[in-house]
Chain A
């Protein structure tokens, strides 16, 4: 039972016990195993709500990324409790208020993956797949990328990631890393209304990014989390209230430059990064989309993606 079971197979008590054990809760994220340790109750609640469908890893398997989310000790436990994130015992960030603990776990994991993906060019983007072809939606925060990503995932697109496009330096393929989709402010309610299937986890108020919550990734996406995808479309979404829907083709040189601005590790990769970016742009059609609502853009996008796939 060990390696084929999922988080939802654990009772709340079992889940809490694993989170407190020295090895942590061993969970499979894409091709990696994370070991999550935490004595904070909201973290356990968030994991049980949003990671329910994730497979558990066996106890004898190598843990790629041991992370820990602990509360502060002493008086801080009672007055203004804090959450501390650790990776391999190191503390890469300052503590956050205790009620942001689960969001901090998500940000911490993003940090871990971006810092250890030396085999990939990493772009700040949502990535989805349809009919075997990958759609990369790259944009700075606030452009509606995650909302659009959640909308497409709820319509049956396979979710690869809502934050990180990992483009293989050797094969040019997209590595899936499906995890909860991060939603901010108004988009939390918007996504809740999109579909009765949308499961939203604990809400953290007053974070550096505003109000933050996460949506559980579709189970089908987790089942295919080891299947890499050929990138096919690159979209730069730009949400504006009451904006009409306009999608236009973007030239490859222009696309290249915009991706550079949205990449985490392009500068560090040197010439390798330049070559990888060039191959990616060659393999994809680029588009820039302005839109005011999901109802407008989703059909347009689906029509483009079925036309050229």
Chain B
């Protein structure tokens, strides 16, 4: 049979029953989209939880099983790294927040199940961030960006230090002091985020690690997604869908979400997260919250355009779901991600420098 395949992955993740009458063309599109979006493990997890693995043809199941195995290795490796990081940072005398994937996995959240980690995101108070970096250096992590421009770019303008990479194991850590770049003009109260964070137990670690509260976690995930370059748009939005679905049951979650986001000047990304998560994955959002989001988003004059651009980044970069029109919109979105993070007088020289260095490296 031939049908449109471009939303196969989102639809299968939203509702696994969607695979019921799949033929090999459908499966190829689904697996290909999941591979290119880094969502194969989560897809497997979703089909497994729905009890649909038996319906999956053996050849396809092989790859889902492979993804589950790979994800299990990522999880084991994360726990090992956290044990080493725990030892490296225990003298800090302050809590260390796990962010994003590491937080989801350590807390046992749905969003962290069979998720792939490219790096480990940590957050500490700005006053101890250099000390924390030193602790990691002593345990074998090394700076990745040795060039002076990059070092300055991160240290002056960003919400994180240049990534550090372990010299033998290759694991990468991003050390943050807040959840959005200060240059974006949004200034969340980092001290409050840290003070409100909740302890999380990590095996073989001192009592050191914390995770953001559910509301803050959603807020950060939304910032990461909509202030970022949206290169893994669908994967990050699926995180959002899992978080919202799982936290929905918690007392007072929905009542607190938007007010709290306003307090931290981060309402806009949260509104987008609610809107897109609902549109792409059919997330169950209470009517009142959904109505408020729609109202506030439509009052922004750039609303429709942004909506249209972001939509393009929610399709996997796979031949079965990509098109030149979507590629063009993603290009614009890439530029947008920079102007959201930085005023133009800083952004333009930065992009010029990057373009220059990039073409230089290609020539060499």
Contacts and interface: CB of A to CB of B under 8 A. Distances in A.
A, B: real partners:
yes
B246 interface: no
Contacts of B355: none
Given A33-B59, A89-B317, A89-B322, A66 B28 contact: yes
A267 B168 CA distance: 10
B319 A89 contact: yes
B28 A60 contact: no
A117 B322 CA distance: 27
Interface string A251-294: 00000000000000001111110000000000000000000000
A119 B32 contact: no
Contacts of B169: 267
Contacts of A116: 63, 66
A61 B59 contact: yes
A248 interface: no
Which range holds the interface residue count of chain A?
Answer: 20 to 34
The listed residue with most A CB atoms (<10 A of its CB), out of B24, B27, B67, B318, is: B24
6 contacts: A62-B57, A88-B35, A90-B36, A118-B69, A268-B77, A270-B76
Contacts, number: 53
B73 interface: yes
A62 B35 contact: no
Which range holds the interface residue count of chain B?
Answer: 20 to 34
Interface string B64-79: 0111011001001100
Nearest to B60: A62
Contact of A118 (B28, B66, B80, B317): B66
A269 B322 contact: no
A63 interface: yes
A271 B76 CA distance: 10
A196 B116 CA distance: 50
B23 interface: yes
Interface of A: 33, 60-64, 66, 88-90, 116-119, 267-272
- By DSSP majority rule, is chain B's interface helix, strand, loop, or mixed? helix
B5 to A, nearest CB: 12
B24 A61 contact: yes
Interface in B129-181: 169
A60 B69 contact: no
Contacts of B77: 268, 270
A88 B40 CA distance: 13
Contacts of A270: 73, 76-77, 80
A63 to B, nearest CB: 6
Contact of A64 (B63, B65, B76): B63
A210 B317 CA distance: 35
B60 A88 contact: no
A185 to B, nearest CB: 29
A272 B75 CA distance: 13
A89 B73 contact: no
A88 B32 contact: yes
Interface in B20-78: 23-24, 27-28, 32, 35-36, 57, 59-60, 62-63, 65-67, 69-70, 73, 76-77
Contacts of A64: 59, 62-63
A59 B124 CA distance: 55
A270 B318 CA distance: 31
The listed residue with most B CB atoms (<10 A of its CB), out of A60, A66, A118, A269, is: A118
A34 B65 CA distance: 19
Contacts of B57: 62
A64 B31 CA distance: 9
B31 to A, nearest CB: 8
Contacts of A90: 36, 317
B57 to A, nearest CB: 6
The listed residue with most B CB atoms (<10 A of its CB), out of A88, A267, A268, is: A88
Nearest to A22: B319
A66 B60 CA distance: 14
B24 A118 contact: no
Nearest to B322: A89
A120 to B, nearest CB: 10
The listed residue with most B CB atoms (<10 A of its CB), out of A61, A89, A90, is: A89
Contact of A62 (B27, B65, B317, B319): B27
B205 to A, nearest CB: 18
Nearest to B321: A89
A117 to B, nearest CB: 8
A89 B320 CA distance: 9
A63 B24 contact: yes
A82 B23 CA distance: 35
Nearest to B317: A89
Contacts of A63: 24, 28
Contacts of A61: 24, 59
Contacts of B76: 270-271
Given A62-B57, A270-B80, 20 more contacts: A60-B24, A62-B60, A63-B24, A64-B62, A88-B318, A88-B319, A89-B322, A90-B36, A116-B66, A118-B65, A118-B67, A118-B69, A118-B70, A119-B65, A119-B69, A268-B73, A268-B77, A269-B73, A270-B73, A270-B77
Contacts of A269: 73
Contacts of A267: 169
A267 B77 CA distance: 10
A119 B57 CA distance: 18
A191 to B, nearest CB: 34
Contacts of A66: 28, 32
